Amino acid sequence: QSSLTLFGVADAAVSYYSAKGVYYYSPVASLPPVATPIEVGRSLTALSSGGNASSRVGFRGTEDLGGGLAASFWLESGFNQDTGANAIAAFSRRSTVSLSGGFGELRLGRDYVPTYWNESVFDPMGAVGVGENLIKTVSGSIATVRGPGSLIAPNDNAIRASNSIGYFLPRNLGGFYGQLMYSLHENVDSNNVPGSPSSKGRYYGGRFGYANGPLDVAIAYGESTAADTTTLTAAGIATGARFSDKLKTINLGASWDFGILKLMGELSQVRDSTSTVTPVRGVAGPAVKENDKYNGAMLGMTVPVGPGMFKASVARVNFDNDLGPVLPGAPDRDASVSKLALGYVHNLSKRTALYATVAQVRVSNGQNNPAIMGIYAGGLANVAGGTASSGIAPRSARGYDLGIRHSF
Amino acid sequence: QSSLTLFGVADAAVSYYSAKGVYYYSPVASLPPVATPIEVGRSLTALSSGGNASSRVGFRGTEDLGGGLAASFWLESGFNQDTGANAIAAFSRRSTVSLSGGFGELRLGRDYVPTYWNESVFDPMGAVGVGENLIKTVSGSIATVRGPGSLIAPNDNAIRASNSIGYFLPRNLGGFYGQLMYSLHENVDSNNVPGSPSSKGRYYGGRFGYANGPLDVAIAYGESTAADTTTLTAAGIATGARFSDKLKTINLGASWDFGILKLMGELSQVRDSTSTVTPVRGVAGPAVKENDKYNGAMLGMTVPVGPGMFKASVARVNFDNDLGPVLPGAPDRDASVSKLALGYVHNLSKRTALYATVAQVRVSNGQNNPAIMGIYAGGLANVAGGTASSGIAPRSARGYDLGIRHSF
Amino acid sequence: QSSLTLFGVADAAVSYYSAKGVYYYSPVASLPPVATPIEVGRSLTALSSGGNASSRVGFRGTEDLGGGLAASFWLESGFNQDTGANAIAAFSRRSTVSLSGGFGELRLGRDYVPTYWNESVFDPMGAVGVGENLIKTVSGSIATVRGPGSLIAPNDNAIRASNSIGYFLPRNLGGFYGQLMYSLHENVDSNNVPGSPSSKGRYYGGRFGYANGPLDVAIAYGESTAADTTTLTAAGIATGARFSDKLKTINLGASWDFGILKLMGELSQVRDSTSTVTPVRGVAGPAVKENDKYNGAMLGMTVPVGPGMFKASVARVNFDNDLGPVLPGAPDRDASVSKLALGYVHNLSKRTALYATVAQVRVSNGQNNPAIMGIYAGGLANVAGGTASSGIAPRSARGYDLGIRHSF
C-alpha cells in the first residue's frame, strides 16, 4: 500500500515596499559613524510571489512496509509565481528520503534546520511576506547585518541544510516531540595539508517541545560552521592564521490557544563567533575571539473572524557588535530594529484565500549596521550600500502585500 | 470540488534549414550598403523540438469555490525534446494564479501578451516550426532586425510578459471576448536619483474580438518599454541624455470557417519608437525621435482531408527604417521579407500526429537589415553577421520539418 | 486508451571515499615519469545520492493508436537527493518520443547509447555507487585518463546521446533483440568555410543480443566524434591542421542465471583515435594517427539470499598509450586499474531497500595516467592533479555506501 502525491502552492500578490534612510559618515575613522539629517527614500511596486505561503511544487509519497515500518520521500521546489522562474530547477525546499517506525523517523537529505521551526510555527505570519518574523529575517541574513569592521559570514544553514541526517522522535510520547540533525561538511581530508579538512558547512542542532491541549512550547539550538580557513605558505605549510566562524542559534517559542485568539511568541539569540589563531614562530598563538550577538523577541496573535483570520505581531532585534567598551560621550555602536505587522486572511475555501498584510519597521542607529535586514522583506533593493566610513543608514521601512493563495 | 492535471506535449522532428546570402559593403559610409554578387550558403540538419506544438510539461488545476467563483492555477514549462534541456527549469511558458467568476477572470503572473494571440490563433501553423507566422518571427526578434545605425532593443514582451495583472471578460457576452494586461516594471524609485524609476519592462495591452458561427475576428494592441535610461554624472546629476525605446504593436486577425476549408489572416504593425532628450545647460532639450516600422500581412488556410489537415500560408513583412529622405539615385534603405509555408498534419489519434512542413523565405535588400529574421525559424545560425558597413546580406532561406507530436 | 505515469527513485547513502597516491616526476622530459615513495592520502565522508539506483523523477506514457500501433514518451531527470540540486532542471537522463508497432520502435530525442546497456545490464552493481562497473567509469571519463602528451577529448556520448534517432527491433524475434542509433552532429555547413561542417558530436552505434531461458548475451559497438576542428587563416583559408578525434567502443556482455546465483561479465575496448592532417604548401599532408586503447574485463555475480541479494564483481582495465616502442630498461608507459566490489541489498519491499557496498581499487603505474578514474566513483576530488612531468600518481582507493533506496 503506497501513495504518491503531487502538491503545491500558487501565491501571487501586488506588493509595495518603501524604505527611508539618512546619510552617515565617520568623523574619525576609529569611532563609530554618525548619522546626518539628509534623507533618502526608495520604493518599489511589484507583483510578488508567496506573500501568504511560499509558491512551490512538490512530490511526496509513503509506502507501508508492514510491521509499523514505512518508507517515504519528499521532493519540494520553490518557484516565483510572478515570473515563473525556478520552477522545479532544484528541490531546494526539501529533498528527503525516510525510514520510519516505532523508533521514530530517520531522514536523509536536505531539510529544515531545527531552529527554523520555532521561527515559523510561532509566527502569526508563517515567516513569509512583508510581515514575516523579524527574527527570521535577521537570522537568515547575518552576513549583511554585521557591524562596521566585521567580516562577512553568510548563514547558509539558517533555514535549511543539505547533506543532513535527521532523527525525529516517534509521535506517541504524550505530547513531547523532538528532533536531532547533523549535516556533513563534505570537505576533503588531505593528509599532507594543514588545517584539512575544513569544517565549513557542518551543522548540528536539535529541537524539543511539548504540545498538549492549548499549549505548544519548544526550544531549539543549532550551530553552523560558516567559515574555517587556514592560510598556507606557497610550500603548503600553515604559517598563516586559522580563521573560523560559527553561527550559534538558540530560540524558544510558545503558543497558547484561547479559542477566540491564539497568543504566540519567540525569544531568540544568534551568536556570530569568530576565532583567529595566528602562529608565532611556528607555534599557534592565543585565539582572538569576537562575538556579535543578535537578541530578538517577538509577540503575536491570530484571531479567527468568521471564515477569516486576523493576525498581528510586534518584534524587536537588538544588535550587539562586540567592539569593546564605548568611549565616554561617543555614539552608540549598536543598531536595533523593531517591527509591527498586521494581516488579514480571508479563506474562500480550505485551499484558497485572499490576503492583505502591512508592515512597518523602525531602525535605530542604522549607521552601525547599514545593511540591516527586516526593513523590506520581499524584494526592494537595499536602502543601504554603505561602508564603515560613509553611506546610507536605514531609518524606516514600510510594505504591504495584497494577494491570492491557492494550494493544490 | 477541484482538479489537478499534469499535461504536456512531446514533439520531435528531423529538420533541415538552409539560407543563402550575398556579401555587401558601403562604398560611402553615410549611404546605405550595397549588395555584391558573391554568394554564400549555410545549411543544417537537426533533430528539432516542437515543430507542430511546442514541447512542454505543465500542471494546472481549478477549484470550484461555490457561488460561480473559481480559483485556478497554470504552471507550464517548455523543454527541448531533442536534448532534454530546460525540462521544468522555469515555468516560463505560463505561471499564473486566477480568480474567476461572473465578473470574468483576474489573472496574476507570467502570461501571453494580448497581441500574441492574433499571431498564433490566426496562423495555420500555430506560430511554431519552420512554417511559423512570419509576423511573429519578426515581432519576436525586433532587436536584431533593426536597420543600419539603429539601436538594439530586444522585444522582451513580444510573446509573454512577467509580473502581469490580467483581466479577461466573462465568456457569455454573445460572442464578444476580450482581455487587458498590465505588467509592472519593478524598477526602484529613488527619491534622489534623476530619471528614477526607469520604466523599462513595463507592458500594457489589450485584445478584443468577436467569435460567432464561422467567424472569428480580433484586434489587439500592446506597448512595451524596451529601454528607459538616464545618463548621470559622477555626482548623480542627470546631465546626460534620457533615452527611451517603446515597442508598439497593433494587429488584426480574422478567420472564416467554410467547412471544407478555413481561411485566416493577420495584418500587423510594430513600431520601434525611440526618443532621446539631451539637456542643454541643465534644461531638457527637444526630444529626438526615431520610428522604425515593420508592416506585416499574412493569409492562410487549413483544409481538413480525412484524418489529416492540409495547411498553407503566405506572408510578407516590409521594414521601414526611419532614416530620412533617400538621395536621388541612392539605393533603397529598407528590406522586405516574404514567406510561403505548406504543411500537412496526419492525425493518428486525437493526441498523436505525424506532420510535415516546408517553408521558403525570400528577402529583398537584406543588406539594410542584415540580421533579418524569419528566414530560418527553428535553429540555423544566422546567415548574416554583418554590420552597417560590410557583412552578409540574406537573400533566401528554406526549411522543412518531418516529425511526430504526442500530447499527454 | 492511454496512460500517464509519474515515477522516480529517492536514494541516499552515507558514503566514504579515500584515495592514496605517491608523488612522481620525470627525470628526463622525453621519458615516462617515475613514481617516488612519498605517500599522500585523501578522504571524504559524505551524504551521497543514488548509491543503489540513480535518484530521478520522470514522466512517461503510452497511447494505444489501434492496429498494433502505439505512441509513447519518456521524460526523465536525475537529481541529487542529498542537496536537492538539479531536480527537474533537464530531462538529461532521457527525453524521447516514440512510435512503435509490428515494425519495432522508432525513438527520437536523448537516450542511452547502445554500448552503455552492456555496461549496466551485466554489472551486478547496475553501474552506480562505489561498486560501479570499472569499465563504465573509465569509458565515461576518457578525457581525463589519457596518457602524458595526449589531448583531451571528453567522451560526451559515453552514456547518452542527444539529437538521436533510434530504432529497436520488435520484441517477438525468438529471443533476439537489437537496436541502432544515430545522433546528428548539428553543426552548420558553410559553403565558403573549409572543414565545414565539423562532425563533432556525431554518434552512431548498435547493439544486438539474444536472451533465452538462463542466457542473455549481447554485443555492441559505437563511434562518437569527440573533436573535428580545422585551423583557418585570418582570410578563412584552411592552411592549418584538421584534427579529428573519434572514440570507438566495442563491448560484449553475457549473463547466465543458475537460479542460486547469476554469473555475468563484460569485455570491452575503447579506442581513442586521433588523426591530424597538416597541409604542406596548400596540399593536405599524410594523416598522423594516434590510438590510445582501454581494454577492460569484468566478472560478477548476484546471489539471492532470502529477501536480499548479495553481489560481487572483479574488474580490470589496461591502458595502452600509443607512445611508440619503449627504450630498453625504460619504465612502463601504461597504467592499469583493477577493482573489487562487494554489495548486499536488503529488500524491505519490492520498492524499498537498504544497501551496503564496499569497493577497493588498485592502480599500477598511475604516474602515466595520473587522472585515472575508477578509484573514487561517487565523489572524492581526484587524488591526482599531475601533469606529464610531476604530480601525484594514484595507487589505491577505497569506498563504501550505506543507504536506502525508495522507488515511486
Residue A316 has pLDDT above 70, yes or no: yes
Distance CA B244, CA B153 (A): 10
Most confident of A368-372, A374-378, B400-404: B400-404
Nearest Cα residue in chain A from B2: A408
Across the interface, do B97 and A47 touch by the CB < 8 Å criterion?
no
Phi/psi for C185 (5° steps) reads: -80, -25
Distance CA A200, CA A119 (A): 24
CATH number for the domain harbouring residue C152? 2.40.160.10
Q: What is the pLDDT of residues C293-325, one digit of tens each?
A: 999 999 999 999 999 999 999 999 998 877 766
Centroid of chain to Cα C150: 19
Across the interface, do A10 and B94 touch by the CB < 8 Å criterion?
no
pLDDT score at C381: 37
Neighbouring chains of C at 3+ CB pairs under 8 Å are: A, B
Distance CA B155, CA B164 (A): 16
A281 at C interface, C-beta within 8 A: no
Distance CA B244, CA B227 (A): 5
Q: What is the pLDDT of residues B19-57, one digit of tens each?
A: 888 887 776 666 667 778 888 888 889 999 999 999 999
Across the interface, do C108 and B349 touch by the CB < 8 Å criterion?
no
Residues 6+ apart with CB under 8 A from B218: B117, B118, B121, B177, B207, B208, B209, B210, B252, B253, B254
Distance CA C186, CA B16 (A): 10
Nearest Cα residue in chain B from A7: B4
Percent of chain A with pLDDT over 70: 85
- Confidence class for position C278, pLDDT limits 50, 70, 90: confident
pLDDT score at A282: 65
Q: Is residue B79 a contact partner of residue B55, using CB atoms and an 8 Å limit? A: yes
C-alpha cell belonging to residue B9: 506535449
Min Cα separation C61/chain A (Å): 17
Domain count along chain A: 1
pLDDT score at B69: 97
Residue C354 has pLDDT above 80, yes or no: yes
Residue A218 has pLDDT above 50, yes or no: yes
Nearest Cα residue in chain B from A58: B59
Min Cα separation C63/chain B (Å): 8
Report the greatest alpha carbon distance in chain C.
73
Across the interface, do B95 and A89 touch by the CB < 8 Å criterion?
no
B89 at A interface, C-beta within 8 A: yes
Mean pLDDT of all residues belonging to chain A: 87
Nearest to A376 by CA among A137, A26, A209: A137
Measure CB to CB from residue B77 to each of A8, A44, A87 and give the nearest one.
Answer: A87
Q: Is residue C92 a contact partner of residue B27, using CB atoms and an 8 Å limit? A: no
Across the interface, do C99 and B380 touch by the CB < 8 Å criterion?
no
Q: Is residue B147 a contact partner of residue B323, using CB atoms and an 8 Å limit? A: yes
What ipTM does the predicted assembly reach? 0.92
Measure CB to CB from residue C92 to each of B6, B84, B404 and give the nearest one.
Answer: B84
Across the interface, do C406 and A163 touch by the CB < 8 Å criterion?
no
Across the interface, do B88 and C92 touch by the CB < 8 Å criterion?
no
Mean pLDDT of all residues belonging to chain C: 87
Distance CA B353, CA C65 (A): 10
Distance CA A252, CA A298 (A): 11
Min Cα separation B266/chain A (Å): 29
Higher pLDDT, C239 or C18: C18
C-alpha cell belonging to residue B1: 470540488
Cβ atoms within 10 Å, residue A69? 16
Across the interface, do A97 and C404 touch by the CB < 8 Å criterion?
yes
- Confidence class for position B141, pLDDT limits 50, 70, 90: confident
pLDDT score at B282: 65
Residues 6+ apart with CB under 8 A from B285: B277, B278, B279
Segment A255-265 shows an average pLDDT of: 97
Min Cα separation B30/chain C (Å): 27
Which chain C positions have a beta carbon within 8 Å of B42's beta carbon?
Answer: 188-191
Mean pLDDT of all residues belonging to chain B: 87
Neighbouring chains of A at 3+ CB pairs under 8 Å are: B, C
Higher pLDDT, B170 or A150: B170
Measure CB to CB from residue B46 to each of C90, C186, C190 and give the nearest one.
Answer: C186
**What count of Cα atoms within 13 Å lies in the side-chain half-sphere of residue B42?**
22
Across the interface, do A83 and B188 touch by the CB < 8 Å criterion?
no
- Confidence class for position A390, pLDDT limits 50, 70, 90: low
Residue B180 has pLDDT above 70, yes or no: yes
pLDDT score at C290: 84
Domain span at residue A267 reads 2-407
pLDDT score at B377: 40
- Window 6-35 of C: residues touching A by CB (8 A cutoff) are 6, 8, 10-14
Residue A80 has pLDDT above 50, yes or no: yes
Across the interface, do C404 and A108 touch by the CB < 8 Å criterion?
yes
Which chain B positions have a beta carbon within 8 Å of A46's beta carbon?
Answer: 163, 184, 186
* Burial bucket for residue A113 (CB in 10 Å: 0-12, 13-18, 19+): buried
Residue B143 has pLDDT above 50, yes or no: yes
Centroid of chain to Cα C399: 19
Across the interface, do B91 and A89 touch by the CB < 8 Å criterion?
no
Residue with cell 534546520: A113
Higher pLDDT, B215 or A396: B215
Nearest Cα residue in chain B from C182: B47
Higher pLDDT, A204 or A286: A204
DSSP per position, A231-272: ---TTS---S-EEEEEEEEEEEEEEEE-SS-EEEEEEEEEEE
Residue A28 has pLDDT above 70, yes or no: no
pLDDT score at B63: 97
Higher pLDDT, C265 or A1: C265
Across the interface, do A91 and C82 touch by the CB < 8 Å criterion?
no
pLDDT score at A348: 97
Strands annotated E in C30-171: 34-49, 56-66, 69-78, 94-101, 104-112, 160-168
- Window 348-377 of A: residues touching B by CB (8 A cutoff) are 348-349, 351-352, 354
B378 at C interface, C-beta within 8 A: no
pLDDT score at B287: 85
Residue C243 has pLDDT above 50, yes or no: yes
Q: What is the pLDDT of residues C21-71, one digit of tens each?
A: 888 777 666 667 778 888 888 888 999 999 999 999 999 999 999 999 999
Across the interface, do C89 and A90 touch by the CB < 8 Å criterion?
yes
Across the interface, do B348 and C189 touch by the CB < 8 Å criterion?
no
* Burial bucket for residue B13 (CB in 10 Å: 0-12, 13-18, 19+): buried
Which chain A positions have a beta carbon within 8 Å of B108's beta carbon?
Answer: 12-14, 47, 81-82, 403-404
C203 at B interface, C-beta within 8 A: no
Q: What is the pLDDT of residues B374-391, one digit of tens each?
A: 554 443 433 433 444 567
Residue A366 has pLDDT above 90, yes or no: no
- The secondary element (H helix, E strand) that includes residue A136 is helix A134-139
Residue C149 has pLDDT above 80, yes or no: no
pLDDT score at B235: 62
- The secondary element (H helix, E strand) that includes residue A399 is strand A390-407
Distance CA C222, CA C247 (A): 8
